[in-house]
Amino acid sequence: MENRLVYSPFRLLFIFILLVLLFVVVGLLFLNLARTAFTRIGFSWEDALLVLLLSLLGSGINIPVKKLECSTPVVRDGYVRAFGVTYRVPVVENLDCGTMLAVNVGGAIIPAIISLALLIRYPDALMYALAAVAFVALVVNRVARPVKGLGIVTPALLPPLVAALSAMVLTYALGSPQEYIFVLAYVGGTLGTLLGADILNLNRIRDLGAPVASIGGAGTFDGVFLTGLIAVLLV
């Protein structure tokens, strides 16, 4: 039987350096894209950096709101897969049936505050923004799917695509002033996703067997928060 010698041509230190460089490059690329998105909606680079920092920190903070009693035992699986993404589900030691409803700071509160600030800054865009929010909420709500042990999930790229489309339709087809297009994309993407995926599905959360259901949560720094930024970059 022929013996085979398998070895790596690179030293571990070299591989580690490559991984660090990759991490740095991806991080700088993300910061540059985020800066572009925030400056398009009227933020300075300093304000954008502050919002990014607060959102990163806030993505791990969930503010409890209410305990939802249910008839389905809490799912104790460590991981749940939906739409090609694997989510880590908190494992609980008790079998009490109930889901804690919470609000995620980085994924819900901060994007909502930014959206409201934009509407206050551009009051004439309010009616167009409401139309964008309604359209995104309707589409997202139709595709949102309840997942046992996790909560409500949606395809990652659909909300920003729908938000960008709604902003372009309102601007180029329905007469919204062109300077509002980035505001419509951001507000429609963030508030529309929060409304369609989370708020309108609160009645479906009770029996999903998830120990915690967070509005804007499930690691939503890569959900609602990024939806607004990606939508702005797409228009």
Tell me if residue 13 falls in helix, strand or coil: helix
CA atoms within 13 A of residue 215's CA, in its CB half-sphere? 25
Instruction: Tell me how long the chain is.
Output: 235
The pLDDT assigned to 57 comes to 84
- In angstroms, rounded to a whole number, what is the distance separating the alpha carbons of residues 140 and 95? 32
Per-domain boundaries in the chain: 12-234
Cβ-contact 230, 159 below 8 angstroms: no
- Whole-model pTM: value is 0.78
Least confident range of 72-76, 83-87, 104-108, 172-176: 72-76
Spell out where the chain has E strands.
62-69, 79-82, 85-88, 98-104, 145-147, 151-153, 212-215
Render pLDDT for 8-46 as a digit per residue (tens, 0 to 9): 555 666 667 767 777 777 667 777 888 888 888 888 888
The pLDDT assigned to 30 comes to 74
Residue 133 pLDDT > 90: yes
Residue with tokens 């709604």: 166
**Per-residue DSSP letters for 69-105?**
E-SSPPP--SEEEETTEEEEPPP-SS---EEEEEEEI
Tell me if residue 152 falls in helix, strand or coil: strand
Q: Which helix (H) or strand (E) holds 168?
A: helix 158-172
Least confident range of 2-11, 56-65, 92-101, 103-112: 2-11
